[in-house]
Amino acid sequence: MWWVSSQRSIQRSVVSAMELVNQHGFASVAFPVIGGGTGGTQADRALTWMLQSLERVESNAAVTVVQYSRR
């Protein structure tokens, strides 16, 4: 059985990861588009949900979201 992403699961994943980034004092972090591949959510929708979560998280870390594109 495959994991199926949802808005809640994607946003909670981002918040949880950022909590760890802050706890460990990391200067930067990179994310793939969570849930936008095998998770079953359209990549643009998943990216929007991720960015919404990142806007609400306070952090000094530089955040990069990496989006895979097929050529």
3-state SS record for 7-63:
HHHHHHHHHHHHHHHHHHCCCEEEEECCCCCCCCCCHHHHHHHHHHHHHHCCCCCEE
State the residue range of the domain holding 33: 7-66
pTM flag (> 0.85) = yes
| 1: in domain | no
| 71: in domain | no
Q: What percent of the chain has pLDDT over 90?
A: 76
| 11: in domain | yes
| 2: in domain | no
- What confidence tier does 69 reach under pLDDT thresholds 50, 70, 90? confident
| 12: in domain | yes
Number of domains making up the chain: 1
Looking at the predicted structure, is the pLDDT value of residue 67 above 70?
Answer: yes
